[in-house]
Amino acid sequence: MSYVEVPGAKVPIRMWTDPASVEDGAMRQLQNTATLPWIKGLAVMPDVHYGKGATVGSVIAMKGAVCPAAVGVDIGCGMSAVKSSLTANDLPGDLSRLRSKIEQAIPVGRGMHREMVDPGRLFQFPTAGWNDFWSRFDTVADPVKFRRERAEKQMGTLGAGNHYCEVCIDGQGAVWLMLHSGSRNIGKELAEYHIGEAQKLPHNQGLIDRDLAVFVADTPQMAAYRNDLFWAQEYAKYNRAIMMALFQEVIRREFRKARVTFEPVISCHHNYVAEERYEGMDLLVTRKGAIRAGSGEFGIIPGSMGTGSYIVKGLGNEMALNSASHGAGRRMSRSEAKRRFTVRDLEEQTRGVECRKDAGVLDEIPGAYKPIEQVMEQQRDLVEVVAKLKQVVNVKG
């Protein structure tokens, strides 16, 4: 579909879904966002749903301002995927051992490594810039600096919630590795600190929603936030890169005889800020639950722990601010999913996938998400499909 315009107070809201299908809370968030004095564009992806602070599936372009709650607390959260030389025929019938080996290599939930992972020991890992990245930790907000040791040990870890590692198979039988994670606790603490700082500023006192508090250009608060934001985005990128390297090591060890090789890794943020130019203006573009989909750019759009995912190429649709959805998107809250579904439902909906099938991940049941095929159909003018993947192993925290 193309987009539908919903009138906004400052800019129209361009939606790649039926406005009638958007829950009231999310629509109110979007309408409030459209009132911001600094806003120049607002695009809404088909996986849109209500979010903490700001709407998930929203792309917000502002001139001279940025809203930290519109980035979210998992700064730099995103996806990575890589195609291997393995095929489905190389995989054993029982995948439980492989799942166990992945869980041993990559800490999940609140877990962390005993010692910081040394990227120099990872196979062909690009270490240029690593030391400079950590030296810049000394420049982040003072209230967060005591978290350095935890940040070091959580580098290369998965987290919980909707974060996961997967072994997938594409339509031609090729095996892919895929994972979803972000900036872990350090990103959360930096985000919460700056959201609180923004809400104290005088220019935000008259906003319709205090969660939309912004930092404005040429102020020390904006400079401090940009420093910490871009550092956290870099942390998230390194986190996924190290996890992917550890994941690849597991595969190489488990399939030694196959002499596994990998194509270049595809990686994309979907909770972040980028400096981009539209209609002759330099803007700060915030994507919360959306990926960049510039012309020819690779991206990843996952479904749920029991459905397919997609490797895509962007079509460069500027009306959507060169963006696409970040996944299927939730159709119900985590608490509602736990009320509505049972462990037996989870077992049925993840049949054929080696994964957790217990009450601890019931809120991640596929039925809690929108149908990924419908989401993909609604953004045919935003991306083209390169490959469809189906998971056979899923690891969650």
Residues with catalytic annotation?
326
Of the candidates 327, 328, 184, 187, the one whose C-alpha atom is nearest the C-alpha of residue 268 is 327
24 sits in which H/E element = helix 24-33
**Which class for 45: exposed (0-12), middle (13-18), buried (19 or more C-beta within 10 A)?**
buried
Distance (Å, rounded) from C-alpha 175 to C-alpha 168?
6
Distance (Å, rounded) from C-alpha 64 to C-alpha 223?
12
Residue 133: how many other CB atoms lie within 10 Å = 13
Amino acid, res. 133: F
Q: What DSSP string describes 330-393?
A: BSS-HHHHHHH--HHHHHHHTTT-BS--SGGGGGG-GGGB--HHHHHHTTTTTEEEEEEEEEEE
Strand order through the sheet with 4-6: 4-6, 13-15, 39-49, 56-62, 281-288, 271-278
Q: Provide the phi-psi class of 385: left if phi over 0, else alpha when psi is between -120 and 50, else beta.
A: beta
Overall residue count recorded for the chain in this entry: 397
**Which class for 135: exposed (0-12), middle (13-18), buried (19 or more C-beta within 10 A)?**
exposed
Distance (Å, rounded) from C-alpha 25 to C-alpha 185?
27
Q: What would the 3-class secondary structure string for 178-194 be?
A: EEEECCHHHHHHHHHHH
Of the candidates 66, 358, 341, 369, the one whose C-alpha atom is nearest the C-alpha of residue 221 is 66
Task: Give me 236's structure tokens.
Answer: 């998230």
On whether the CB atoms of residues 158 and 108 are closer than 8 A, the answer is yes
Range list of β-strands (E), 128-270: 164-170, 174-181, 215-216, 266-269
Range list of β-strands (E), 122-244: 164-170, 174-181, 215-216
Task: Give me 182's structure tokens.
Answer: 């972000």
